[in-house]
Structure 1
Amino acid sequence: MTTGFRGDAALGSARRRLGRPGRFPRSFWLATLLIGGIALALRLVNLAHPPGVMFDEVYYANEAQDLLQHGVEWVPESGQAEYVVHPPLGKWMIAVGEQLFGYNSFGWRIMAVLVGVAAIVLLMAAAWRLFRSTLLAAAAGLLVALDGMHFVLSRMALLDIFLMFWVVLAFYLLVLDREQRRARWLAVVESGGDTLRPRLGIPWYRIGWAVAIGLACGVKWSGLWYLLLFVAAAAVFDMGACRSAGVRHWFAASLVPVIGWGFAILGIALFAYINVWWGWFLSDDGYFRHWYAATHNLPHDRFIDPLVNLIHYHDTAYAFHTTLDKPHRYQSWPWQWLLLGRPVAIYWDPGVSCSADRCTAEVLLLGTPVLWWSFLPALATLTWLAIARRDGRAWLVLAAALAGIVPWFQSMPEHRTMFYFYALPAEPFLVLAVVYVLGALLGAPHARRRFAGSMIFGGYVLAVALCFAYFYPIYSATAIPYTAWLDRLWLGNRWA
């Protein structure tokens, strides 16, 4: 039998390279319970305040209710379907809260809380899988829990928190997929199986993350960048596993399976995405639902027309997105996001009462400054470590962080209207970049350097926590004196 394996001498090397999946220790579960509980408690406190809709809740909270009543977005005044340019999944998720708790501010915000906390837990699990450290996993979860942008968006009915959830879920399943495939390769090697045509079984985690990233696109199309990145990452992982297994011509041997799986993942993701439009398919009233028949004077749809109509819908929505240039006072450019150059005022009430003569209450969509201003140096350091250590984990985190920001630069020449909260899907990976650098400081072999690294690690996390506490009043619409509000506008008019 031809195996393509280099010989028994490589077996030990294959075992070291491929390894086996680890199991979460008890300390991880305790840390997850504690940090998840903290994140949940922070987000549930006074969730219904401010009452009524804030910012774009005026769209998504109402559209979620429309989905419950009509299956599609609706204009009550005209009794017709509404033309919208975002897929429906995020609004369906908001609608679950409205169905359970009513059409009120708590009802349309509660699902954002739950998926926001779930994303923190998933990120901790992914961090442990990557770093095999409960301390680093806990740091990742705590930093996201204490981030102002994540906090604000996980307390309101906007789509971005749901997009981030599906992206983080897909990332975690991608990490599990890598572990599973490598473990199965190791089993083939140890059993003396055919490494040129290995039987690796059904990659359920791969199917899972393909579905998850398709659902991310079903919230917002910007999930497409993560689909492309994760397909490329899976290809690199598969080729790396083939090489680690000791296959002589590993590139040629893995090329066809990699290409095949690439197309399969795209197909699975597309299938998942199309299925989020089920309400539109089942409705006779959806916008453009019978476009082809109506424009060609046909009495009814042909068999293929529902997909033709959906493609036409997407064509017009794409044209809208690529020509959206209406000025907005809180718009910002991608180069400003990591600098906190232009946060978004979500809510503002200068007429509240407090202990001072003049008071105000605001919800400002602003990342915790100590955390966000550390992202750029962390990315620079991560790049250096990725090169110096030749560490695939560093490259994966770096690519995932950049995938949520860099693609937006291509829209700048057209002056497309963009907002700071578009960076939310990148935020978990930016935090992982910080955690990776902190881990490198902790891992210093010299005792004095390790002590210094521990001080930097603890001091940094404490500084983020204190900074979050300081800005908490303007994250949560707490009534404070006007002078106290002004003190928190560190960049002056850029934040006001």
Structure 2
Amino acid sequence: MLAFLRRPLPVALSIAIVAQILFLWRLTVPGILMFDEIHYVPAARRLLALDGPANVEHPLFAKMLIAGGIALFGDNALGWRLFSTLAATAVVTGVFALLWLGTRRLRPAVTGALCALLGFTVFVQARIAMLDGYMAAFVVTGAACLLWAMHGRPAQVRRRWIAGAVLLGLATGCKWTAAPYVAFAGIALILLKRGRPDRWRGMATIPALLLLGGVSVATYFATFAPAFFYTHEPLTLATILPFQLYMYGQQTQVLPAHTYQSSWWSWPLDLRPIWYLYEPVDGAQRGVLMIGNPAVLWGGLLAVAACAIGWLRTRDVRLGAAAMLWIAGFVIWAIIPKSLGFFYYYYLPSIWLCIAIAVAFDHWRARVAGWDEAYLLLVAGLFVHFYPILSAAALSGPRAFTRWMWLPGWA
């Protein structure tokens, strides 16, 4: 049994099974639409009926997946959310894969995967029909495929690279905020092959970049295929490019102030989470708070800083990659022209913190022996403490939320 658990695949599968069970438990509570489900579930219904465009500020693919859940399991809470749980499990497993491929050690891979599983944000997004969960799943698994390609034989490299490009194209087909990761992948390829040309053996830099860009863009546009069959206002080959400009206009329009809006710089500090739900429903007072596990969000910032400083001193590629993944994923929000910001935009950068935490513990493992276990106990303890307001559990009354309000902005 112990030998079984020393191999990466059985361990990854075990974590994935645990994650999926956790995400599925009481998935249908609440039985009503919550937060942005009020936008995406109706859009999925229209997409399923091929009725015409809806929620046109975002691409189609994540809404297609929500529609698929409705088609298979009914227009109910299970149908709306089931595929979101699979996306979240893919995120947890993808974090494991990235760390295993990057370090070839099980301990950091397990540490990062458990931080993602218990870091609040993945759990909450697993249980709601929103676009970000799907987008993150394809970005994380796409990145894992591209890294897997680096370790392949020449005959495998091209196939794995194409698979990663397809996944990044699907991620962009869920939400445009995935698009910068195609560029990040290209930059990483250039830098890593410059240091060691034998990486991604048999694939030269320029052809690899063209393949990455061409496949991801082609995949993105392929996700619009259902729109060509709308009964009202169908897309055509002549209108699909102008439609992208229309989407951009919708994305960048000035919106009225929102109760839960927050500035991008505040997200890493966990200052203004979002109540996805707080009301009497299904026979009890219930709440769902989109918030980050303080041990992961705040501890992750220390890990990013440690990785960045460690890279400057040692030029260890793993440290630099872990730090830059979070830095690049976060800084893009200072550039993206959105009139309003919300904490859930930080979902993907919050996942990269788990990578930095695991890499930092692994790099300095001789100095911090056992600390990673204590840290994971803290992360798990906070998950248990906050579980009632992450999972829409029954609460004692309308003021029950005060038990968990550590900071003024959390209320």
Q: What TM-score, normalized to structure 2? A: 0.92
- Paired residues of 2:95 and 2:116 also in contact (CA < 8 A): no
Unaligned runs of 5+ in 2: none
Structure 1 residue 350, shift from structure 2 partner: 4.9
Is 1:424 matched up with 2:404? no
SS in 2 for 1:349: strand
Q: How does 1:14-413 map to 2 (within 5 A)?
A: 26-70=6-50, 74=52, 81-82=53-54, 84-180=56-152, 183-184=153-154, 203-242=158-197, 257-283=204-230, 285-286=232-233, 289=235, 306-350=236-280, 360-411=285-336
Q: Distance in 1 between matches of 2:177 and 2:55?
A: 19
Q: Which residue of 2 aligns with 1:465?
A: 380
Change (3 A) 1:103 1:264: same
Is 1:479 matched up with 2:394? yes
- Paired residues of 1:89 and 1:218 also in contact (CA < 8 A): yes
Q: Extract structure 1 runs of 4+ deviating beyond 6 A.
A: 351-354
Structure 1 residue 202, shift from structure 2 partner: 6.4
Structure 1 residue 370, shift from structure 2 partner: 1.5
SS in 2 for 1:376: helix
Q: Distance in 2 between matches of 1:391 and 1:281?
A: 49
Change (3 A) 1:244 1:406: closer
Cα deviation 1:399-447 (Å, max 9, x = unaligned): 2222322111124xx67111111111222221100111111231x2xxx
| Aligned residues between the structures | 406
Q: How does 1:442-457 map to 2 (within 5 A)?
A: 442=365, 444=366, 449=367, 453-457=368-372
Q: Which residue of 2 aligns with 1:9?
A: none
Larger radius of gyration: 1
- Paired residues of 2:151 and 2:199 also in contact (CA < 8 A): no
Change (3 A) 1:38 1:63: same
- Paired residues of 2:304 and 2:322 also in contact (CA < 8 A): no
- What amino acid maps onto 1:107 in structure 2? G
Q: Distance in 2 between matches of 1:83 and 1:471?
A: 33
Q: Distance in 2 between matches of 1:137 and 1:201?
A: 23
Q: Which residue of 2 aligns with 1:488?
A: 404
Change (3 A) 1:407 1:466: same
Cα deviation 1:129-162 (Å, max 9, x = unaligned): 1111111111111111112111111111000000
SS in 1 for 2:320: helix
- Paired residues of 1:166 and 1:215 also in contact (CA < 8 A): yes
Change (3 A) 1:423 1:326: same
Change (3 A) 1:204 1:25: farther
Change (3 A) 1:83 1:33: closer
- What amino acid maps onto 1:470 in structure 2? H
Please provide the CA RMSD for this pair. Answer: 2.3
- What amino acid maps onto 2:274 in structure 1? V
Q: What TM-score, normalized to structure 1? A: 0.77
Change (3 A) 1:415 1:318: closer
Percent sequence identity is: 28
- Paired residues of 2:322 and 2:352 also in contact (CA < 8 A): yes
Structure 1 residue 96, shift from structure 2 partner: 1.8
Structure 1 residue 284, shift from structure 2 partner: 5.0
Q: Distance in 2 between matches of 1:222 and 1:36?
A: 26
Structure 1 residue 239, shift from structure 2 partner: 2.9
- What amino acid maps onto 1:45 in structure 2? W
Q: Distance in 2 between matches of 1:394 and 1:208?
A: 26
Q: Distance in 2 between matches of 1:34 and 1:169?
A: 18
